[in-house]
Amino acid sequence: MAKVDIAKLRTQIKKTQDKKRYEHTLGVTYTAACLAMCYDIDTERAETAGLLHDCAKCLSNEKKISLCKKQSIEINMTEAKNPFLLHAKAGAYLAEHKYGIRDEDILNAVRYHTTGRPGMSTLEKIVFIADYIEPGRNHSARLPELRKLAFQDLDKVMVEILGDTLGYLKGTENEIDPMTQRTYEHYKKVLDGRQEQTKETEGKGGQGS
């Protein structure tokens, strides 16, 4: 992978975001770097994905829609009704074509940072989670516990974050993107599978020794 100039990217992103969004971007960037250290992922790739994750956030909804249409990026029914969701897909496009990122894992981390997707890579999960727990966030009373859990178990915290997000969305007029639901169900299954395996192992251990 061609080396990314993080300092240059930071300056570029700063120019496209308002102060609050840029502070959030830096929070996600540093949190993603910390999680990367914890889970043996290259910190520069995590920082790059963190810096870029909301790079399309400050485009108007009209711009996000027209960019997606022009580049033949699919807009689903939920996105058509809630165009803010498109900042993830539009962001992945800009990350590649405006900021020159060729690393598909980084592009996917940007593309799926809002809804997640089944079968995410470690880097994708890190960015998704960092977006939710970065120090500037204060949207959930459960953040202290989720912040700790993020450094202990990525899949468990994915289920917690997605469960909280779905619970929040169900209490509002907002439509749930089928991908958010699918991601939650996927990671719930992953955890259930792990629990089953632990039970089996414990059962065998109990008989044998």
CB 124 within 8 A of CB 87: no
Give me the 35-54 binding string for Fe ion, x by CB under 5 A, dash otherwise. Answer: -------------------x
Q: Is 79 in the site for Fe ion (CB under 5 A)?
A: no
200: its two tokens = 């089996």
Q: Is 131 in the site for Fe ion (CB under 5 A)?
A: yes
Residues in Cβ contact with 100 at an 8 Å cutoff, skipping those fewer than 6 apart: 2
Give me the 59-98 binding string for ligand DGI, x by CB under 6 A, dash otherwise. Answer: -------------------x---x----------------
CB-side neighbour CA atoms (13 Å) of 89: 24
CB of 107 to ligand DGI, least distance (A): 16
Chosen from Fe ion, ligand DGI, none, partner binding at 183 (C-beta under 5 to 8 Å by type): none
Q: Which of 29, 31, 48, 115 binds ligand DGI (CB under 6 A)?
A: 115
Give the whole-angstrom CA distance, residue 21 versus residue 54. 8
Q: Which is nearer to ligand DGI, 13 or 201 (CB)?
A: 13
Q: Is 134 in the site for Fe ion (CB under 5 A)?
A: no
**To which residue do tokens 């910390």 refer?**
34
Q: Is 122 in the site for ligand DGI (CB under 6 A)?
A: no
Give the whole-angstrom CA distance, residue 77 versus residue 92. 19
List alpha helices for the chain, DSSP H: 6-16, 19-38, 43-52, 61-70, 77-81, 87-97, 104-111, 122-133, 143-150, 154-170, 178-208
CB 116 within 8 A of CB 128: yes
CB of 131 to ligand DGI, least distance (A): 5
CB of 137 to ligand DGI, least distance (A): 8
Q: Which of 58, 73, 169, 190 binds ligand DGI (CB under 6 A)?
A: 169
Q: Which region, judged by CB under 6 A, interacts with ligand DGI, from 58-66, 108-116, 119-127, 153-161?
A: 108-116
Residues contributing to the site for ligand DGI (CB under 6 A):
24, 54, 57, 78, 82, 113-115, 131, 165, 169, 174-177, 180
